[in-house]
Structure 1
Amino acid sequence: MKNLLEGKYGRYVLPAVILQSVLMGGGFATGREIVEFGAKYGALGWLGGIGIFIGFTIMAILMFEFSRKFQLFNYRTLLRELIGPFWFLFDIVYLLLAILIIAIMASATGEILNSTLGMNYWVGVILIIVIVGILNFYGKGLIERFKTLGTLSLMIGYVIFATLVIGTTWESALEVLRSGDTSFVTGKVSVFAVLWSGILYVGYNLAVYPAALFSIKRQQSIKDSIIAGIVGGILMTFPWFLTYFSLLGHYPKEEVLGATVPWLVMLDGFPLIVIIIFGVVVGWTLIETASGMIHAFVDRLDSQIKDIANQELTDLQKGGIAVGTLILAVILAQVGIIDLISKGYTAMAYAMIVVFAVPLLTIGVYKIFFKK
């Protein structure tokens, strides 16, 4: 495993794998996210997916290269180089968004584990808190291995779920595309509205990018950044399209597109083992998302403590921060998944675009190409 991580896989694929694994929880695990940011537009939703791929790819390439060129491997040092004294604004938005994403996933996981495995809501949530705490206690080495194996398993799982759903509803999906059906939303749907929805999706998911910074140390040239960025864009968008086409076969049914966890409704009627596997997979996505985002935040705290007091966080303190963040998220989860996604994600998307996307596309591009 060590030789694999230190070779081309570590330079080209691992940063993309980490991005995708952290994205899964907040990006498409429940299916609700794809409804809000694309699938609700029916036949035109695929345009949002194209915009999402371009956005994810460009932002990944720029962040990887900015990090590599200036040797910035946690988001505190990266943001200080990018936006100077205003770096703390990203800190605020990032932590709020991390808690929001984890809250949504905790709520979804509790509901899914209860529906699929008959597990008590709180037993499932507490189990995930413990696992994430352990991962942050043992640090990035375990997290890298966990994500490499976990992401492969998750992708296989989502491909199976999408294949089952699409295989039984493909004719319906084609009919939606042929007829140009956008009836789930009221009024005429413009191309701009669909593309803007894709931009917002990329915007709130920018919070997952710092989770990959620690893996950039292996990259050696701008070629590595470009290849890793393209791989990242593909890995991050592929599950979006799988979920989109799965939802399209049920368009515009309110019982699916209006569901808290649309995947559960779409898989209803399939063998019980499929539902159980789905419950396990979604639980795993929460673990990957939570551990990745919290690890990035812990790295940022560790860096500041080193600067101020010349000390480091202990493994116990890192695990404690992870557990504390998860507990706050579980409290927030009581608000409800639909409101958290439609209102919370949209607000955080605008904030993340302002404090990260715009500076990276302007100041970042200038420094990458003109600053030595």
Structure 2
Amino acid sequence: MQKLLEGKFGRYILPGIILQSVLIGGGFATGREIVEFGAKFGAMGWMAGIGIFLGFTIASILTFEFARKFKTYNYRHFLKELIGPLWFLFDIIYILLAILIIAIMASATGEILQNTLGLNYWVGVGLIIIIVGLLNFYGKGLIERFKTFGTLSLMLGYILFAILVISTTWDEAVNVLSTGDTSFVGNNVTIGTVLWTGILYVGYNLAVYPATLFSIERQTSRKESVVAGLLAGIFMTVPWFLTYFSLLGHYPNEDVFGASVPWLQMLQGFPAIVIIIFGVVVGWTLVETSSGMIHAFVDRVDGQLKEATDKQLSQTHKGLIAVGALVLALILAQVGIIDLIATGYTAMAYAMIAVFMLPLLTIGVYKIFIKK
């Protein structure tokens, strides 16, 4: 396994796998995210998907190459090199967004595990807290292995769900596209509005990039950064389109498009084993998303502590920080999934674009391609 991670797989594919594994929890797991950031536009929603692919690909290539060139393998060093003394702004936004994403996933997972596996809400959430704490206790090596196998399982799961739904509702989806139906949001939708919605989706998901910086250490050339970035863009967009076309077959059904967890509604009528598998898969997404984002934050705290005192966090401290972040997220989760996604994600998207994407497209491009 170690040989695989250190070879071409680790240089070209692993960064994208880690990005996708962190993204899938806050980006795809419930289906609510795709409703808000694309599918609600019906026949025009695919344009948001194209914008999302371009946005993720550009952000991935620039992030990977910037980290490789300046050897900034944790996000504090990365941001200090990118925006200098203003790096702490990203820190604040990142922590708030990480807790927001985990809150959404915790709320969704508690509901899903209760409805699919019959587990008590707090029993399901408690198990996930313990798993995330253990992953951060044992650190980078275990997280990489967990994500490599986990992401493959997640992708297979989401492909299965999408095939089941799309194969039974394809005629309805084609009808929506052929008639240009945008009725869920009205008939005055503009291309600009749809594209901007895609940009906002990329914006709030920029928070996933710090989680993959530690894997960039293996890259040794610009070619590897570009190829890895392109693959990451594909990995991060394919589940969006699978979910979009699944939702399109139910457009504009209020029972689906108004649900906290649209996937649960779309899978109604399928055998119980499908619902159970979905519950397990979404539970895994929470673990992957939470462990990835918290690992990046713990890594930053560890690096700053080492610089200031020449000491590092113990494995116990890392595990406790992870559990503490999850507890805060659980408190926030009481607000509700729909409001958290619609309002919280949009606000965080603007903030992330301001402190990460715009500097990356300006200062980052200058330092990568022009500055000697």
**TM bracket (short chain):** over 0.9
- Cα RMSD of the aligned pairs, angstroms, is 0.5
Q: Distance in 1 between matches of 2:85 and 2:365?
A: 19
Equivalent residue number for residue 87 of structure 1: 87
User: What SS does the corresponding residue of 1:203 show, helix, strand or coil?
Assistant: helix
Q: Which amino acid aligns with 2:150?
A: G
Partner of 2:231: 231
CA separation in 2, counterparts of 1:333 and 1:31? 17
Question: 2:123 maps to which residue?
Answer: 123
Q: Secondary structure at the match of 2:91?
A: helix
Letter in 2 for 1:244: Y
Q: SS at 2:125's partner residue?
A: helix
Q: Residues 303-353 of structure 1, C-alpha deviation per residue, up to 9 Å, x if partnerless?
A: 110111111010000000000000000000000000000000000000000
Q: Which amino acid aligns with 2:45?
A: G
1:286 aligns with 2:278: no
Q: 1:193 and 1:30 mapped to 2: Cα distance? A: 23
Q: How does 1:77-226 map to 2 (within 5 A)?
A: 77-226=77-226
> Does 2:315 align with 1:315?
yes
Tell me the alpha carbon deviations over residues 91-128 of structure 1, each in whole angstroms, 9 at most, x when there is no partner.
00000000000000000000000000010000000100
Q: C-alpha displacement at 1:148, in angstroms?
A: 0.2
Residue aligning to 2:13:
13
Aligned equivalents of 2:126 and 2:330: distance in 1? 10
- 1:369 CA displacement: 1.1
Q: Measured at CA, do residues 187 and 174 of structure 1 come closer, stay the same or move farther in structure 2, by a change above 3 Å?
A: closer
Rounded to whole Å, the distance in 2 between the matches of 1:115 and 1:186 is: 33
Partner AA of 1:308 in structure 2:
A
Percent identity of paired positions between Structure 1 and Structure 2: 74
* 2:51 equivalent in structure 1: 51
Q: Distance in 1 between matches of 2:351 and 2:137?
A: 30
Other structure's SS at 2:104 match: helix
Q: How does 1:241-280 map to 2 (within 5 A)?
A: 241-280=241-280
Determine the structure 2 residue equivalent to 1:340.
Answer: 340
Query: Structure 2 CA distance, aligned partners of 1:129 and 1:267?
Result: 27
What code does the residue aligned with 1:43 have? A
Gapped regions of structure 2 (runs ≥ 5)? none
Q: Cα distance, 1:283 vs. partner? A: 0.2
Per-residue CA distance 1:206-255 (angstroms, 9 max, x = gap)? 00011000000000100000000000000000000000000000000000
The amino acid of 2:155's aligned partner reads: M
Structure 1 position 371, deviation (Å): 2.8
**How far apart are the structure 1 equivalents of 2:137 and 2:75?**
20
Instruction: Name the amino acid aligned to 2:260.
Output: T
Matched, 1:369 2:372: no
- Which residue number corresponds to residue 327 of structure 2? 327
SS at match of 2:119: coil
AA matched with 1:180: G
What secondary structure sits across from 1:72 in the alignment? coil
Q: Kindly state the Cα deviation for residue 274 of structure 1 after the two structures are TM-superposed.
A: 0.2
Instruction: Using the TM superposition, give the Cα deviation of residue 34 of structure 1 relative to its aligned residue in structure 2, in angstroms.
Output: 0.1
Q: Secondary structure at the match of 2:312?
A: coil
* 1:370 shift after superposition: 2.3
1:44 Cα deviation from its structure 2 partner: 0.2
Q: 1:151 and 1:186 mapped to 2: Cα distance?
A: 37
Q: Which residue of 2 aligns with 1:27?
A: 27
Whole-angstrom CA distance in 1 between matches of 2:218 and 2:371: 22
**CA drift at 1:75:** 0.2
CA distance in 2, matches of 1:140, 1:215: 9
* 1:61 aligned residue: 61
SS in 2 for 1:269: coil
Runs of 4 or more above 2 Å deviation = none
Aligned mates of 2:62, 2:303 — CA distance in 1: 22
1:359 aligns with 2:359: yes
Q: What is the distance in 2 between the residues matched to 1:99 and 1:371?
A: 36
Tell me how many residue pairs correspond in the alignment: 372
* Paired amino acid for 1:225: S
Per-residue deviation at 1:54?
0.2
SS of match in other structure, 1:135 = helix
Aligned residue type for 1:228: A
C-alpha displacement of 1:187: 4.5
Secondary structure of 2:276's counterpart equals helix
AA aligned to 1:165 is V
What is the Cα deviation at residue 186 of structure 1?
2.8
- Structure 2 length-normalised TM: 1.00
Other structure's SS at 1:119 match: coil
Q: Where in structure 1 are there 5+ consecutive unaligned residues?
A: none
2:123 match: secondary structure: helix
- In structure 2, C-alpha distance between the alignment counterparts of 1:96 and 1:186, rounded to whole Å: 33
TM-score for the superposition, normalised by structure 1: 1.00
Q: Distance in 2 between matches of 1:57 and 1:313?
A: 34
